[in-house]
Amino acid sequence: TCSFSHSPKDFPKLKNDTFLRAARGEETEHTPVWCMRQAGRYLPEFRETRAAQDFFATCRSPKLCCELTLQPLRRFPLDAAIIFSDILVVPQALGMEVVMVPGKGPTFTEPLKEVEDLLKLRQKVDVTAELGYVFQAITLTRHSLEGRVPLIGFSGAPWTLMSYMIEGGGSSTMAKAKSWLYRHPETSHQLLRLLADVITDYLVGQVAAGAQALQLFESHAGHLGPEQFQDFALPYIRDIAQAVKSKLKEEALPLVPMIIFAKDAHYALRDLAHAGYEVVGLDWTIRPQEARAQTGKDVTLQGNLDPCALYAPKEKIGELVKKMLEAFGTQRYIANLGHGLYPDMNPEHVGAFVEAVHAHSRHINKH
């Protein structure tokens, strides 16, 4: 249950650390597995819990975030939990208004249009004041998990958040946001730097609150070409890893493993493998062997089953998982989808995916 609040101390002892060990490159008996968007609309109990609530009001309720985070773990033997939240809470902390429009998704009431609009943003963000509700949700959930599995915290990466803040919502081209990179490179860097600083404090705060791993989502990497990624995404991805780690040391907090997931950024896998993250997440559009060849031996890989594979019959899901495990190898690997779960997916097929990872990886490890 998620009913009473605790301090971020005296956390229950962790019983299943398979995910953390794989993230750190240690040997595991089975390949750990979790799913992006595992707390989501594909679960009827999620829809029930969320029914009467405004989406961002849900994000601001530690109790509801805890409940939604735990729901998939009641159903499936997942090896990690990821806190229920949204990447757009960071632009909200900078003073922007975001509403969830049914059928349209997240929408900014006043996106950034002109360079001058940057002045409207908070230049100094007190993350505890603005995002303390996420920290409370993490602490509460960490206690409520009772040590079953580790809890992952996360944030969007600077370029992905910048693109939302300028586009005002989703976009198939990101043309407005990309035009800033070409027309206003200095201002773009100013905005990306501001975001990187807030994200750093936000991630450190999540660890202080009890997060045992962190994932940075560069969901819109695929809209950039290699040069723009090199200029406007990668430096901040690197800076965040470095700054988070040095602040964790300074504050005597645990050095938790960090995951970078840059969707569709194959051209940058080599760089991402050297960006200071223990784990590199992969989407479904790259061959496992190729990803291993480009990232080398010193990082753990995470991914990359096509989410739509979960529409296949259960036996077929098992075959695809087996093939994926054989291609990646069962060690230094965390099984996941190459993107989040879709709302119309059958929970039983999610269960089949999780169980296939455990069964096939155990079998491969034995033989």
Q: Which residues are catalytic?
A: 37, 41, 50, 86, 164
Paired tokens of 194: 């501001």
Specify the residue for token string 């027309």. 183
Specify the residue for token string 């069964």. 359
Q: Are 16 and 79 in contact (CB under 8 A)?
A: yes
Q: Cα separation of 4 and 210, whole Å?
A: 16
Characterize the bridge pairing of strands 105-108 and 98-101. Answer: antiparallel
Per DSSP, what are the bridge partners of residue 68? none
Give me the half-sphere count of Cα atoms (radius 13 Å) on the Cβ side of residue 190: 13
Q: Which residues contact 142 (CB under 8 A, 6 or more apart)?
A: 8, 11, 151, 209, 210, 211, 212
At residue 260, the 3 state secondary structure works out as: strand
First to last CA, the chain: 40
Cβ of 84: how many Cβ atoms within 10 Å? 27
At residue 301, the 3 state secondary structure works out as: strand
> What one-letter code names the amino acid at 204?
V
The DSSP-derived string for 104-130 is TEEEESS---SGGGGGGS-SS--HHHH
Per DSSP, what are the bridge partners of residue 108? 98
At residue 280, the 3 state secondary structure works out as: strand
Paired tokens of 10: 């005296």
> What one-letter code names the amino acid at 337?
L
Q: List, as own/partner pairs, every contact residues 45-50 make where C-beta atoms lie below 8 angstroms and the sequence separation is at least 24, other chains included.
A: 45/71, 46/71
Per DSSP, what are the bridge partners of residue 304? 336
Give the Å distances, CA to CA, from 74 to 39, 286, 341. Answer: 11, 32, 17
